[in-house]
Structure 1
Amino acid sequence: MSEIRLFVTTTEANANRILDLMSLEFGEEDYAIATTEIDEKADVWEVSIYLMGDQEEEVQPRFLRVLQAEYPDDVIQREVIPDVDWIAMSLEGLKPVRAGRFLVHGSHDRDKVQPNDLAIEIDAGQAFGTGHHGTTAGCLEVIDKVVSARNVRNALDLGTGSGVLAIAVRKLVKVPVLATDIDPIAVRVAKENARRNEVVSGIDFRTAPGFHSTAFADHGPFDLIIANILARPLMKMAPQLVAHLAPGGSVILSGILAEQRWKVLSAYNGAGLAHIRTIWRNGWVTIHLMRQ
């Protein structure tokens, strides 16, 4: 069954208000709601809700009712999301990747696992984050350093994708992990990957549209927060992310191009975090910060 995106195009100010209204309407249900900047100069934003095809008849009138309360002129648009296995296409010919003590590999490379490896098996699937990209590999390397050096009692994997980072934390230390994503398909794939890696408990996978979900308050504050997303949303969410970080806690940020590093650091320094280290991989950076 196809996944559907219903969305409206609006300004940033209106997008934030619509997101709040949508969260009130759908916040306790398993729908992903998100805002996306389309054109910075023209102030064009989209507010989207993701659902399966058989849910559209029930969700579309509720979305319309939310808009009519304050934005009656906004028009709901519809997009069918292509059922394309992007990771399967990108993984052809890729080899196992080492990052710290981790070895991320496909099922066809199980023979490459060495006795002391922390092996994570991730095959092609419909979610980002296989370990081959510089951002994911950088996160794995820093996770290894942080968990080895500090007492981590709980963790958050924000934007979990394939679940590889949540699985990595759980393989290193048996602490509760909350793993969230705005895409319900990614959450389903991440759960399957956790089972494949024999991590059958300890990770709570949730579909959550940012920090509007009650899951964060239920599980936090967190000693370790990992967010492998993109620079612009990372900068925007800095105050909320830091608000969910425990005293002395660590934050690992990635999805950041090297030239964006200083802007991201500035946002998180301004939110009260201190820079510990930066790892550079293939034009991307992974940043480790701490709350003092």
Structure 2
Amino acid sequence: MSWKITAFAPRDIVQAALVAHEDAFDWDYDIVLAGSEIAEDKPEEWQLEAWLPRKPTRADKAAIAALFEAGAPGMTVEKLPETDWVTLSQQDVAPIREGPFHVHTPEYPAKDGPGLRDFTIPASQAFGTGQHETTAGCLAMLAEMKARGALVRNLADIGTGTGLLAFAAMHLWPRALATASDIDAVCAPVVLDNAALNGVATGARAGELTMVIADGMADPLLKARGPYDLLIANILAGPLVELAPDFSRAVLPGGSILLAGLLATQERKVRAAYARAGLRLAARIQRGDWSILWLRKRAYGRVRGSRVGQMPDWSRGW
């Protein structure tokens, strides 16, 4: 990406612009957006950054400005040197520890210890090195699901990025059939390289990971390998809402869906879509401005003391 547009505004205004972006169905996806605080000591002062593979046109600037309800604040436009900005943004990030998982880039040493699973995830063009609050929150939720006795024999990680969440789920349920998918073709070699680096078996048998490139659930292999006990999707709120019926159909009664990539302000809309699709909340985590949701599909018959056709409410007090 060789050009960047930056707009500065208070946090709530930038977050509202990001929500508007997800609801803009005619958005040009050559324009990649991100919002962040401008400094750690200024948590309420944010910036909206837009990266483009071309010099911004008047229409590009207008599309970004239209995301702001009162019009965009002053925007700066700059040409960037030829650099892999996605990889650069993920370098030199500190390791994280979530539940039994220690995740780090190759610049940091591995850790070993009782019950600890170390993952080395190099910075790459694929999303998900573990440091983002949504990815880290998903690792914590997977550990919580295991601790609460979730049984997983068949899992899928949709929008897998680097493959990290699929790897983590396979560690917790090592005999499960595992499938990972992403819409971006760059992720296939990244996932396979990361699997080899971390000793994760690839293939089509139980305990092995199969990687496919697919748009949502629109893939013959994803359909053939379902239905799933666990479906993971750390993507964006807009696609999560759109895919709710497909995800529900892909999960067994009593099965679990782990959702992330949504702001806390978007949670109600996402949960409503999944409630309509027959799922209810089992647990949630909030990390910063982000929500991580564990949903269970209504089961037929009795499940852990619940009434017929209902799921127990495990969300209380957590």
TM-score of the alignment, normalized to the shorter chain, above 0.5: yes
The answer to whether 1:245 aligns with 2:244 is no
Distance 1:187 1:45 in 2: 25
| Alignment-derived partner of residue 13 in structure 1 | none
| Alignment-derived partner of residue 171 in structure 1 | 171
| Alignment-derived partner of residue 110 in structure 1 | 109
Give the counterpart of 1:285 among 280, 291, 298. Answer: 291
Conserved 8 A contact 1:38-1:44: no
Structure 1 99/40 Cα, relative in aligned 2: closer, same or farther at 3 Å?
Answer: closer
The answer to whether 1:182 aligns with 2:164 is no
- Equivalent residue of 1:165, what SS? helix
TM (norm. structure 1) is: 0.71
Q: 1:51-96: per-residue Cα shift (whole Å, max 9, x none)?
A: xxxxxxxxxxxxxxxxxxxxxxxxxxxxxxx985344312333111
Amino acid paired to 2:232:
I
Distance 2:126 2:213 in 1: 13
| Alignment-derived partner of residue 195 in structure 2 | 194
Question: 1:147 Cα deviation (Å)?
Answer: 2.9
Amino acid paired to 1:284:
W
Conserved 8 A contact 1:160-1:187: no
Q: Which runs of 5+ in 1 are unaligned?
A: 1-36, 49-81
Question: 1:111 Cα deviation (Å)?
Answer: 4.4
- Equivalent residue of 1:226, what SS? strand
Q: 1:134-193: per-residue Cα shift (whole Å, max 9, x none)?
A: 000111111112234111101010000000001111122221111000111112101110
Distance 1:116 1:225 in 2: 24
Distance 1:232 1:192 in 2: 30
Structure 1 267/195 Cα, relative in aligned 2: closer, same or farther at 3 Å?
Answer: same
Structure 1 277/122 Cα, relative in aligned 2: closer, same or farther at 3 Å?
Answer: same
Distance 2:28 2:167 in 1: 32
- Equivalent residue of 1:141, what SS? helix
Q: Decide which moves more: 126-135 or 168-177.
A: 168-177
| Alignment-derived partner of residue 89 in structure 2 | 90
| Alignment-derived partner of residue 145 in structure 2 | 146
Structure 1 40/128 Cα, relative in aligned 2: closer, same or farther at 3 Å?
Answer: closer
Q: Which runs of 5+ in 2 are unaligned?
A: 1-19, 31-80, 203-207, 299-318
Among the aligned pairs, what percent are the same residue? 38
Conserved 8 A contact 2:110-2:120: no
Q: Which has the higher helix share?
A: 1
Distance 1:45 1:285 in 2: 24
Distance 1:111 1:128 in 2: 21
Conserved 8 A contact 2:92-2:107: no
Distance 2:85 2:279 in 1: 35
Structure 1 segments of 4 or more deviating over 3 A? 37-41, 45-48, 82-87, 111-115
Distance 2:107 2:180 in 1: 27
| Alignment-derived partner of residue 223 in structure 1 | 229
Amino acid paired to 1:44:
D
Distance 1:206 1:192 in 2: 14
Amino acid paired to 2:154:
N
- Equivalent residue of 2:131, what SS? coil
| Alignment-derived partner of residue 125 in structure 2 | 126
Conserved 8 A contact 1:38-1:46: no
Question: 1:39 Cα deviation (Å)?
Answer: 8.7
Amino acid paired to 1:179:
A
Distance 1:195 1:83 in 2: 30
The answer to whether 1:203 aligns with 2:209 is yes
Give the counterpart of 1:212 among 214, 218, 224. Answer: 218
TM (norm. structure 2) is: 0.65
- Equivalent residue of 1:225, what SS? strand
Question: 1:227 Cα deviation (Å)?
Answer: 0.2
Structure 1 259/274 Cα, relative in aligned 2: closer, same or farther at 3 Å?
Answer: same
Structure 1 275/39 Cα, relative in aligned 2: closer, same or farther at 3 Å?
Answer: closer
| Alignment-derived partner of residue 77 in structure 2 | none
Conserved 8 A contact 1:226-1:252: yes
Distance 2:92 2:288 in 1: 18
Conserved 8 A contact 1:38-1:45: yes
Structure 1 45/96 Cα, relative in aligned 2: closer, same or farther at 3 Å?
Answer: closer
Question: 1:110 Cα deviation (Å)?
Answer: 2.2
